[in-house]
Amino acid sequence: MRVYFDNAATTAMDDRVIEAMLPFMKEHYGNPSSVHSHGREVRSAIEKSRKKVAELLNASPSEIFFTSGGTEADNTAIVCGIQTHDIKHAITSPLEHHAVLHTLQECEKKGLLKLSVLEINEKGEHDLAHLNKLLKENPKSLISIMHANNEIGNINDLNAIGNLAKEHDAFFHSDTVQTMGHYKHDLKNLPVDSIVAGGHKFHGPKGAGFLYVNKAKKISPFIYGGAQERNMRGGTENVIGIVGIAKALELAYEDMEGHRKHVEGLKTRFIEQLRAHISGVEFNGLSADLDKSLYTVLNVSLPPSEDNAGMLLFNLDLNGISASGGSACSSGASVGSHVLRALGASPERDAVRFSFSRFNTVEEVDYTVEKLKELYGVIA
């Protein structure tokens, strides 16, 4: 059996998304900036996609800008938010994705701002009293806190953070890559200034994302060179990706509750079986708390084992199981997970992130648990 439990890294494309994209690979190949009919029909598809995304998120189409993915969108929101609004101080978390953390660190290195890092506890929960203190000391800051962590699944309260940001006239950006397509975002009522998405996290194409920027907090472009995306992003649009991401989001919203119920059931079963069969198993962050974590992510810390030390992911792969040791963007690095280090997790224990999608099955969960039992010498 082959099992794919690395859906927080990327998901399989839905066949219906591929079908929606195909005509724009074959028949509709015009440049959307061209004024002739070939160009106009493609331009129309882009604008229909923008309208669809805006509709689903309860935003205005003028607030949606298509990008190459979440990383570009994060960089745009942060760098251009700082420049446009003359921001000299930023606040973030040690648990942020490197698309945010490295961008802010680079801004500080260049002398553009002073960076403050929020205090967290051993479960990865942010200290909002500390955030309030930092905002009082540094009004008009930029805050960048993700909606949910890509490694440990912790969900952050965007309303609480956003209301503090409003109170102190701060620009609030949130990386919503892991929650987009899995949770509803009502942007007319959510106190955020910008959020982002990457299509491949919810069964859409890689290389396609979008940025939402509240029209009250407009920012300057990050990429120059053309009038595309309402003068906000130069370069010929990735038409295939744009059509695909809009279709993927539409499908995600069609039966979000059904998808959630199915995936939550898989995660619950996984937690229960691991607790029942592997002595000393622990769960990092809040990933085992169904009310406070992504239903798609479970970060498991397994007891020290001579046979599996540093080899667990490899051993799982030999058994046909694909999982991750943290964020996929850091999977080839020897430094390990910055998120788990920030939590003070023991380096002697093997940590594995299992992440699920609507295409996974109960049989795959049971097979994976059986293989873990074998790897850890559990006799049935």
d(CA 312, CA 304): 11
Cβ atoms of residues 50 and 237 within 8 Å: no
Residue 219 backbone class (left: φ over 0; alpha: ψ -120 to 50; beta: rest): beta
Q: What is the pLDDT of residue 262?
A: 98
Q: Is the dihedral of CA 308, 311, 313, 314 positive or negative?
A: negative
d(CA 334, CA 347): 12
Amino acid in the structure at residue 334:
S
Q: What is the pLDDT of residue 326?
A: 53
Q: What is the pLDDT of residue 335?
A: 67
Query: Of residues 329, 331, 336, 370, which has the active-site annotation?
Result: 329
Told to judge if 80 belongs to the known catalytic residues of this protein, a careful annotator would answer no
Q: What are phi and psi of 89, to 5 degrees?
A: -145, 135
Q: What is the pLDDT of residue 329?
A: 42
d(CA 238, CA 23): 14
Q: What is the pLDDT of residue 283?
A: 96
* pLDDT tens digit at each of 380 positions of the chain: 999 999 999 999 999 999 999 999 999 999 999 999 999 999 999 999 999 999 999 999 999 999 999 999 999 999 999 999 999 999 999 999 999 999 999 999 999 999 999 999 999 999 999 999 999 999 999 999 999 999 999 999 999 999 999 999 999 999 999 999 999 999 999 999 999 999 999 999 999 999 999 999 999 999 999 999 999 999 999 999 999 999 999 999 999 999 999 999 999 999 999 999 999 999 999 999 999 999 999 999 998 877 787 789 999 999 999 999 854 344 444 568 999 999 988 877 889 999 999 999 999 999 999 999 999 877 55
Q: What is the pLDDT of residue 379?
A: 55
Rounded to a whole number of angstroms, the distance between the first and last alpha carbons of the chain is 20
Q: What is the pLDDT of residue 35?
A: 96
Number of H helices, E strands in the chain: 13, 12
Q: What are phi and psi of 301, to 5 degrees?
A: -110, 115
The CATH number of domain 3-11+255-375, selected from 3.40.228.10, 3.90.1150.10, 3.40.30.10, 3.90.120.10: 3.90.1150.10
Cβ atoms of residues 180 and 201 within 8 Å: yes
Residue 6 is given by DSSP the state B
For the chain, domain boundaries: 3-11+255-375, 15-254
Closest CA to 187 of 80, 47, 55: 55
What is the domain class of 15-254 according to CATH?
alpha beta
